Amino acid sequence: MAKSVLILGSGLGALSTALRLSDKGYAVKIVEKQSRAGGRLHILEKDGYTFDVGPSFFSMSYEFKELFESVGEPIPFELNELNPLYTVNIAGQDRVFQMHKDLTKLAKEFEGIEDDFEAKARGYLAGAKSIFHDTEYRVVKKNFDSILHYLLGMAKVPIKHLPKMFRSFWAELERHFESEEVKIIFSLVAFFLGATPFNTPSVYNLLNYTELQYDGYWNVKGGMYNIVKGMLPLLEARGVQFQYNCEIVAAEYSGKKMTGLRDAAGNLHTADLYVINADAASFRGQFLGRKKFSEAKLDAMDWTLAPFTIYLGVKGKIPGIHHHNYFLGNNFRDYADTIFRSSVAPEKPYYYVNVASKSNPNCAPEGCENLFILCPVPDMRVKPDWSDAETLAQGIIEDLGERVGYDIASNIESKTIYTPVDWASMFNLYRGSGLGLAHGMNQIGAFRPANKDEELNNVYYVGASTVPGTGLPIVVIGSRLVTERIQDEHSIV
């Protein structure tokens, strides 16, 4: 008999799970507090401009291919490989580093900075490749039922990788490269995991392999929100129902079963099974009253940085800027040491700029650019007051204008700012943390909030703060893991 599944939230993890489950015959309904689907994968249409609100590119594009192949569909959007992957501007340096997958080409970018770069990079990436393939199926793409089960899985990872568990990301880079520039650029990815390269385990150097050699970076023709737009008709064709503007404010349960989710208007939504796409840690604390996830315990966990985002419509074409750009200062170590801890906005912020109009002209009126600026900042545990948002935004816009040689400030036609407070309230992100729980060794695998509830046997989780972790392809993997669990435990035959 068809089992009904209620999914709380419509982020990418939820949409992917809904697609897999509905394709297998489950009757799926999604409730979402926003007026459209996608969660952090959102769109902002304003003043004739269109902006991707959150994600602007991704790696591991083959996870999307797997998702759609699993339901017998072609990918419902067009993938676009980034080339160069991105550019990096370091304050005080005239040269702009263009990151290429072709290592011979990339070596030219570091000429005069890092001797013998190509050979060193090949050695470094060979190590990263080996750990990626040795952990992909043994640890990342696997459901674990207990810590013991997880540790047994880890024990199958070849012993040669053990030192990487104890060495830092930066220390691994120091074993291969001498120049600060190469080490800084290769370590930027650590910030997305929720820590600095100085305290992120070196195993995560594998991300540079996925980025530079294995699959590269991708975005979506016409804008990232086309992922959601492409998925909706497939979901509707499989009978998935959506209820938007529906905020869940309480969970009801009895014995070992959830009996319903109550919305702000007082309606009770019921189903046989529930999949929670809200934050898997804070939901357990705030809706299920679990002591392990009390406010104090949640605050003691490690969270990824919060986003401070600016969306600008700018008159004129800006030279000297590409589709994906990092703008860094010249005090990397100090900045990394304080960025998670400082209760004041950074004076000389490091930030990322995406100019989608460089490759998607429809995002901006003719002759104009749309800029998405992301400055990672401390979450609201550390800096709850964002009344200084305008000042920080102004500083970034001035700095960017100077560095690219274009008067951006005088040519702004549209401006929107989202502080961590906005991000927290828009998508219920705990303390405004942008990517959810961090990925230290104590918060991954069986140590991360599981995708199956500990007490209620009809409740499951998918999304950034459950397994395997955060990022678009990773929550797609998460949707496969939770679907496998549901099929094993609540088959519909």
Binding site residues, ligand FAD, CB under 6 A? 8-14, 31-34, 39-41, 54-58, 247-248, 277-278, 307, 309, 374, 427-428, 434-435, 463-464, 470-472, 475
Take residue 133 and report the two structure tokens written for it: 């393939």
Residue 287 or 406: the one with the smaller Cβ distance to ligand FAD is 287
Residue 6 or 125: the one with the smaller Cβ distance to ligand FAD is 6
Cα dist. 240→43, 134, 348, 428 in Å? 22, 37, 47, 23
Q: Is 204 exposed, middle or buried (0-12, 13-18, 19+ CB in 10 A)?
A: buried
Cβ neighbours around 266 below 10 Å, total: 8
Residue 95 or 269: the one with the smaller Cβ distance to ligand FAD is 269
DSSP single-letter state for residue 137: I
Residue 285 or 434: the one with the smaller Cβ distance to ligand FAD is 434
Nearest approach, Cβ of residue 11 and ligand FAD (Å): 2
Distance of CA 456 to the CA centre of its chain: 28
Residue 278 or 328: the one with the smaller Cβ distance to ligand FAD is 278
- The DSSP code sequence of 368-389 is EEEEEEEEEE--TTT----TTH
Nearest approach, Cβ of residue 309 and ligand FAD (Å): 6
Residue 313 or 434: the one with the smaller Cβ distance to ligand FAD is 434
Distance of CA 465 to the CA centre of its chain: 10
Nearest approach, Cβ of residue 279 and ligand FAD (Å): 7
- Helices and strands (H and E) in the chain: how many: 17, 19
SS3 283: helix
> CA-to-CA distance for 357 and 369, rounded, in angstroms?
5
Nearest approach, Cβ of residue 56 and ligand FAD (Å): 5
Residue 374 or 421: the one with the smaller Cβ distance to ligand FAD is 374
DSSP single-letter state for residue 363: G
- What distance, in Å, lies between the first and last C-alpha atoms of the chain? 6
Q: Cα torsion for 196, 202, 207, 209, to the nearest 10°? A: 140
Distance of CA 482 to the CA centre of its chain: 18
Q: Which amino acid is at 306?
A: A
Residue 135 or 465: the one with the smaller Cβ distance to ligand FAD is 465
Residue 154 or 477: the one with the smaller Cβ distance to ligand FAD is 477
Contact 70, 479 (CB under 8 A): no
Nearest approach, Cβ of residue 271 and ligand FAD (Å): 15
Nearest approach, Cβ of residue 179 and ligand FAD (Å): 26
Nearest approach, Cβ of residue 114 and ligand FAD (Å): 27
Residue 114 or 263: the one with the smaller Cβ distance to ligand FAD is 263
Contact 341, 378 (CB under 8 A): yes
- Residue sitting closest to ligand FAD (CB): 11
Q: Which long-range contacts (CB under 8 A, 24 or more apart) does 102-109 make?
A: 103/212, 106/212
> For the chain, what is the largest distance between any 2 Cα atoms, rounded to a whole number of angstroms?
68
Nearest approach, Cβ of residue 60 and ligand FAD (Å): 9
Nearest approach, Cβ of residue 140 and ligand FAD (Å): 15
Nearest approach, Cβ of residue 108 and ligand FAD (Å): 27
SS3 335: helix
